[in-house]
Structure 1
């Protein structure tokens, strides 16, 4: 067995790509690595099939440490520290933008159920590119996507060319769904709920670290989270956990952890973003942190806003406007407003972000924004649009489902998306296996009342 996401010889390719995106001059280091026989980053998995020779492993370690000393020219406009982030946001809200109404309980149930439904929709096609998702959907009479994916009627040649996510398909195809299967996109929000119940809203990043050590199975976390957990286990503390040999620090991991921080602060994107920052700082920097702040603010706004445009406008106020993530989100939203054919929107987004990994925060935040605008508050249109985008389909489906569900409330989500989930979720987290959306929403609501009382 070869573990993923931790070997220096596999990390170096990802770090070189991240460095180029940061505008750092690293071609001399890249030549040294390739001239020594080093490989590029594995395109999909987190590890190459065979371990590298010891000389390459040591070289990779040295080069990772050398790369860490090269400053990014983008650092001034993409800070990580909270005070600097707030200073970089000229529109940072000084007070809540709205107060929750009497429908808050129903909207919280909708947010939890919507997150689960969007996640399950995207699970079987995670890691499959756009063209594969379309081929599968067309071959089974589900294009444009309007329902769960299915293997029924799928021709063998299509199935062979575009294989399902093997871990997810047994529990997330139309013919297999029986409750909500376990997923990190649901485990992390539940962990955040437990964190707030244990420590309150005054929690710190060290408390997040303790929750991870207490509760997270290492085999069920990936990329930046796995690196940060490794860093904790070798004795590092935040903020070093986020940066030490962690080329995934601007990927999507922190974004998927943030919804609950918004749900406990309805109508208050700034407070939601502050809580999300404390969580994200354990494993991410810059755009990786902004992804979490953006998602938390989306969740906060979804419980009080009248539509996705109002949600997006509030969420963008907590992201530095010159950052790559904010620019990408604005561009994506503008594209979706101007172009009625969502496939053309996706063509432009994929061309614009072709250099990013499929689980980077920037391109996925752009897909979320475009789908929310295109969906215009319709749950089905929103989640199916974002899953058709490819990239991180289950995570993006979860985020868009959360926002759309929060806007509509539980009763506004079509039964086709909620009935097969049977109001329950599977989890290996202590105390959460079999939890119902009703119970999760009630616990979240109790935290809202506690912090506002």
Structure 2
């Protein structure tokens, strides 16, 4: 049996010590840190909403920030995906819900207030493309850069104190519904940092846990180390660090820069370093480093909330109402408290810990947990994009052909979409032109997918897919759908031409305006 270290009060461990030893933490302390992490996440995201995409080309100027939730918390896409999952995980006792059930949860409960990679994945599910395919870059163009790997992961890490590999595995199971590759590296980076925050309070040490969890080739390793170096060089000049980050890691397109993993991972690391353990200052720095600021403040808030704990946070005189109101998710509780949400996490932590060989015991009247710690290391590796693409082509070829020859409209659309994504359109159209024409028409009626392809954003992978849609005979709609049109109309398929008019039928001469 490994030697146990008792954390009462919190004993700080170096990474090397924690890798080989078992820890014992009183139940009251685990609860306090889980609640603190969840409260910190909600403070960061909801207090950060006014600054989301506000500070883009220049750093922010927020000062005097005081954390507060005078009306309590509410659902937001930074927390409510996880809430849906956590509720179902507790209900079923499954830590990693099987992907067919995940897809069904999305169809039932996740239909509004979703954007980017997640909106794209959700509408692919309407034609039977389900996880994990919805998270592959060849099928979901947002997958390789979108920030969802960060902002949909934090709550899962609260289930695995001191267990970074487990935290990463749980987080990745859910974030990879919509993202992959470097975006998935962000999941294990931040999940490992949150797992560390239960047994560490040294910020640089916590960041080292995150770095150790990254694939050796991950660019996030470079980002974290660069930011650490720049903060040391400019300890009293955070705008200089902002400038260096922006100069080196800004991407070619707006959306890949500011809604991507790179600048935002850098912003979180910088906020943690400059905040130096001060909760309010750390969140304020997250606002001021900008870009997707609410997401970054939520991530930093989860880490610092777990370090500080709920009791400390509630003793600061901040105006916080214990409420978590449902404003976005169908077929879920209309209202609960942040405390009851955290209690669900505590219940699931017990399941995770027991599965990993941990135990709960009472000694001297104190209920405690024996937790087997883990080494922070990558559980998901970066893959060669071309090799992954070819594997998909080989694995899905027969399925695509079967779908296209089906009489089921949904399967026809599925086959057409996959054929377009996997460069099989010309091949299958030659083999069976009539079935291909029917399949393309079926796909063109899935109006939300077509809108996502042509109007989702402006970046190369999506633009290339739009071009392939046009070549296949699906034209660009005359206008972009408003968010409320997408959220309020739950009709899945519409007769082509009955919604914002589009060209239907094969287009032989492609104009630049159609792309």
Q: Deviations over 1:359-391 (max 9, x none)?
A: 101211111111112212110111110110111
Matches within 5 A, 1:56-67: none
Partner of 1:140: none
Partner of 2:359: none
The answer to whether structure 1 residue 361 and structure 2 residue 261 are counterparts is: yes
Quickly say closer, same or farther: Cα 1:448–1:324, change in 2 above 3 A. same
Query: Is the Cα–Cα contact under 8 Å of residues 254 and 279 in structure 1 kept in the other structure?
Result: no
Q: Deviations over 1:107-162 (max 9, x none)?
A: 1111111111111221012121256773xx5xxxxx435337xxxxxxxxxxxxxx
**Cα distance in 2 for residues equivalent to 1:94 and 1:310:** 12
Query: Is the Cα–Cα contact under 8 Å of residues 157 and 191 in structure 2 kept in the other structure?
Result: yes
Query: Is the Cα–Cα contact under 8 Å of residues 126 and 393 in structure 1 kept in the other structure?
Result: yes
Query: Is the Cα–Cα contact under 8 Å of residues 120 and 394 in structure 1 kept in the other structure?
Result: yes
Say which SS state the counterpart of residue 79 (structure 2) adopts. Answer: helix
**The structure with more radius of gyration:** 2
The answer to whether structure 1 residue 422 and structure 2 residue 321 are counterparts is: yes
Say which SS state the counterpart of residue 23 (structure 2) adopts. Answer: coil
- Comparing both structures, which one devotes a greater share of its residues to strand? 2
- TM-score, scaled relative to structure 1: 0.66
Query: Is the Cα–Cα contact under 8 Å of residues 96 and 173 in structure 2 kept in the other structure?
Result: no
Quickly say closer, same or farther: Cα 1:205–1:255, change in 2 above 3 A. farther
Question: Runs of 5+ in structure 2 lacking a partner?
Answer: 1-14, 355-515
Of 385, 391, 407 in structure 1, the residue corresponding to residue 307 of structure 2 is: 407
Structure 1 residue 253 displacement after superposition:
1.3
Query: Is the Cα–Cα contact under 8 Å of residues 335 and 345 in structure 1 kept in the other structure?
Result: yes
**Aligned residue pairs, count:** 328
Question: Runs of 5+ in structure 1 lacking a partner?
Answer: 1-90, 138-142, 149-173
The answer to whether structure 1 residue 189 and structure 2 residue 82 are counterparts is: yes
- TM-score, scaled relative to structure 2: 0.59
**Cα distance in 1 for residues equivalent to 2:170 and 2:315:** 33
Structure 1 residue 418 displacement after superposition:
4.7
Say which SS state the counterpart of residue 244 (structure 2) adopts. Answer: helix
Q: Deviations over 1:392-435 (max 9, x none)?
A: 1111111100100000001232667852x401122233444432
Quickly say closer, same or farther: Cα 1:100–1:94, change in 2 above 3 A. closer
Of 117, 139, 144 in structure 1, the residue corresponding to residue 43 of structure 2 is: 117
**Cα distance in 2 for residues equivalent to 1:97 and 1:209:** 38
The answer to whether structure 1 residue 346 and structure 2 residue 346 are counterparts is: no
Of 123, 142, 166 in structure 2, the residue corresponding to residue 248 of structure 1 is: 142
Query: Is the Cα–Cα contact under 8 Å of residues 37 and 301 in structure 2 kept in the other structure?
Result: yes
**Cα distance in 2 for residues equivalent to 1:274 and 1:417:** 37
Task: Supply the RMSD in Å over aligned alpha carbons.
Answer: 2.7
Matches within 5 A, 1:196-345: 196-197=89-90, 198-217=92-111, 219-242=112-135, 243-249=137-143, 250-340=145-235, 341-345=237-241
**Cα distance in 1 for residues equivalent to 2:21 and 2:272:** 20
